[in-house]
Each structure stands twice: as C-alpha cells, then as structure tokens.
Amino acid sequence: MDARSLLVQVQSDIGATCDRAVRQASLIAARERQGLATDRERNVLRGIRVSLGLEYHHEAVLLGRLAGGEAEGDRVDRRAAPARRRCHRGVGEDCPLPIPCCATLAATLTSRSPAGAARR
C-alpha cells in the first residue's frame, strides 16, 4: 500500500476513534448524572486518547513522507502532499492532539470537578 492510501486509512481511523471518544464521553456524562462510578469508563477514554495519539503520529509521519517526496517502490510520488485533514466534526480548524476542537471530549479530560468527585 502506498503512502497516500495509508494516509486515507489513517485519517479515516482518526475520525472513527474521535467518534468513539465522543460516545465514551457521553457515557461518562450519563453515568455521572445517575450518580454511578465512572472510573472504568474514564480509563477506556484514556486508552482511546492513546490510540488517537498514535493515529495522529502516523498521520504526521505519512504527511512528512509525502512532503519529502520519498520513493514509492520504484517511482517517486511528485504530487503535492495533502494538508492535514480538517476536523471531521466540522469545527473548521485542525485537530491537534488532544483534540481541543471536540468540546464534549475536552470537558471529560479536565480534572474532575469537586461536585462530580463527591458523588462517587
């Protein structure tokens, strides 16, 4: 698989992982509203963030490879390197780790509020 094809796959994975993170954040919020513990769900969210970080790293490596015009097998890819993919959630800005453009996710990554900690 060439670098461009890999980049398309990685960017698709980034979108899917971000969606999973947002769903996990919604689950955490629902459990907190019900007064239930969220330790396990927060650990899952941390794991999702690690996966997302790795996917962003892969994207950066592939973009660098394409920008450098490295050889693809026996040929050199001379097409312009694509830009970093815009945030798939439609915010209109790049999505650097840890996805600050996803407000729902960002809210779950802040330190626990005193009110939320008291319910546990």
- The full set of domain ranges for the chain reads 3-119
Burial 84-112 (b: 16+ CB within 10 A, else e): bbebbbeeeeebeeebebbebbeebbeee
CB-based contact 7:59 (threshold 8 Å) = yes
Q: Give the pair of three-digit tokens for residue 27.
A: 């689950």
Instruction: Output the pTM of the full model.
Output: 0.63
Task: Provide Rg for the chain, Cα atoms.
Answer: 18
Residue type, 80: A
CB-based contact 32:116 (threshold 8 Å) = yes
Render pLDDT for 36-83 as a digit per residue (tens, 0 to 9). 999 999 999 888 888 887 887 888 888 888 887 654 554 555 666 666
Q: Give the pair of three-digit tokens for residue 76.
A: 């050199």
